[in-house]
Amino acid sequence: MTQFFPHEKLDVYVEALSFTRVAAELVDRWPASVSVHDQLDRASESILTNLARSARLHRTAQGIYFLECSLGSVLESAACLDVASLKGLIENDMLHSGKRQLQTVARMQMGLRRAWSKSVHEDAEQYGVEADVYFPHETLHVYQRSLQLYGVLEMRVLGVEKRRHRYARRIDEVATSLPLNIAEGNGRFSHLDHSKFVEIAEDAGTKLAAYLDLAEGLWSADVDPARPMLREVMAMLAGLRGYLDSEGEQ
């Protein structure tokens, strides 16, 4: 008699596997030197592995936790596609095709979570009701501003001829980390978990400020347009974390 792993019986796993294969094809074409290459590779794999772990434990608290981790990786993958689009690594059609796949996975995950936890508070409909808005984090001003910041850095600091400098890699890493952690944190169900991802984003922003100083001093990078945008993002993150911390104490 054929034996199946629990996750092999889940339709959402099949859908997630399809996206992960697409992601693998994308990263194989991208330069390994760009941060989003490793980020999407890791996040897309995490969707699958955490789904498999959640299926093994399913209706337990640990199983639901792994399911939420998988959902977080879906949101992180979607943010990776946004960053890749800013870098000119994917065409607009591929951006939307990938997000539609991820949106389907997220909606199925939400339905599975409700079934396992008997929760009536979360609604799968939040994952896409507008034509070009697939996930709730895409409507956040702090997320959009972090993407705009990355776009400025890509144009002013991370150009091909400048990327050879050792600190350009660090700037790429922390600037990528900002929107990715904002996106993943926004999908967390507890205020405490959400706050942790906001703190990670704040830490990335703090490092970015220091690396911008280095870039300006070492190769006269034009960082002035990026600085006020970074300050604005950091102010919004501080406000968000304060709100989440106060809610978590109640």
Write down the pLDDT at residue 167.
87
Which parts of the chain sit beneath pLDDT 70? Answer: 1-3, 118-131, 160-164, 248-250
- Residue-level pLDDT at 1: 41
153-173 tens-digit pLDDT: 999 888 755 556 778 999 999
Domains of the chain: 1-136 (1.20.1440.60), 140-250 (1.20.1440.60)
Sign of the C-alpha dihedral computed for residues 27, 181, 87 and 172 taken in this order: negative
- Residue 2 confidence (pLDDT): 58
The confidence score (pLDDT) of residue 220 equals: 84
CA–CA gap between residue 58 and residue 49 (Å, rounded) = 14
- List the alpha helices (DSSP H) in 9-162: 11-29, 35-57, 61-86, 92-117, 141-156
Per-residue tokens: 77 = 């993958």
> Do 51 and 192 form a contact (C-beta atoms < 8 A)?
no
Instruction: Answer yes or no: are the C-beta atoms of 142 and 202 closer than 8 Å.
Output: no
Is residue 128 a contact partner of residue 134, using CB atoms and an 8 Å limit? Answer: yes
Task: Measure the CA angle with vertex 22, ends 18 and 28; round to 5°.
Answer: 145
